[in-house]
Amino acid sequence: MIVQITLTRNELFLIKEMLPLWQRYADAFVFMVDRSDDGTLEFLEENKDKYNILSVLTTGVTENAPPIESEIRQRLFDEAFKHSGNIICLDTDEYLDGTLTKEQLEIILDANKDTLIHAQWIQYTNINEIRVDGPWGFNFKDRIGSYSKPTKFKSAQMHSEHLPVPEKQGTIDASRIFIAHLQWLDKKAVAIKQYYWKIVDYVNRTQFGVDTIPASAYDASVNNFNWQCKTFDFPLKVSYDVYSKQPLENNYKYNYIKTSVKKFNIPNLNDWNMGIH
């Protein structure tokens, strides 16, 4: 059995689109819901039988202190490990695709115990186009693992690994299986997302002394929207305008930006002239 684990926050509009796609490679699910008020928790609880959702956990995090991400992911992993050592971890804006079947993936995992498998991170910009400039043309991420025993995460306040690192690591060719990432589908949505992380880092650094990623790293990732794209053999499996289904006022990242800018008197950290700040 393959169990998928997902940490999510206020992205019910995406979860409803992704669950049928996630079922291609996952037999069951464990979710961790973080501070959501959009009905995510209720939806997952109500649909446990339909999607074989084994557990719905909550982070218990408040806004008074930054969470330790690796501890949250450890709880998520440990819950899934109760049911299977074959575990995939996907963010709400990711799904697996390729020519590999679930049965074939399970055979690979069963034959490679205690191995973390990195898959290529494919960045969709349209139905059959992907982003390939900078690091986005050839980038692998830790999303698939096989575990025969409990395994601990390396401690990380933010930007933790998605799965703990066991004894061995490997890769699978992108023609067989890859991670489809939706981040770059909508320029306004990605600008809000990347600017959100600038604000989160600013608050964590100035208010709590957390070591964070410099804002310039997010500028580099956006590259002022001067992207190089190419056609891709695997068409996008969700609607390319999926982000327009969430009203801006329901976007917790946007609301966090607005609240934090006022609360902490944050200067414009470069919002790429998108009017976010």
Summarised one tens digit per residue, pLDDT across range 41-55 is: 999 999 999 999 999
In sequence order, what are the residues at sequence separation of 6 or more whose Cβ sits closer than 8 angstroms to the Cβ of residue 111?
A: none
CA 83 to each of CA 5, 78, 117: distance values in angstroms, whole numbers, following the listed order: 12, 9, 20
2-181 maps to which CATH number? 3.90.550.10
Q: pLDDT class for 172, splitting at 50, 70, 90? A: very high
Phi, psi of 5 (to 5 degrees): -115, 140
| Residue 45: count of CB within 10 angstroms of its CB | 12
Asked if 77 contacts 153 with a C-beta cutoff of 8 angstroms, the reply is yes
pLDDT of residue 208: 84
CA 110 to each of CA 21, 104, 117, 119: distance values in angstroms, whole numbers, following the listed order: 23, 10, 12, 17
Asked if 57 contacts 30 with a C-beta cutoff of 8 angstroms, the reply is yes
Instruction: Return the axis-axis angle of helices 187-208 and 252-263, rounded to nearest 10°.
Output: 40
Residues forming CATH 3.90.550.10 domain(s) in the chain: 2-181
135 secondary structure, DSSP code:
G
Q: pLDDT class for 65, splitting at 50, 70, 90? A: confident
pLDDT of residue 178: 98
pTM of the model: 0.94
- How large a percentage of the chain has pLDDT more than 70? 100
Summarised one tens digit per residue, pLDDT across range 104-128 is: 999 999 999 999 999 999 999 999 9
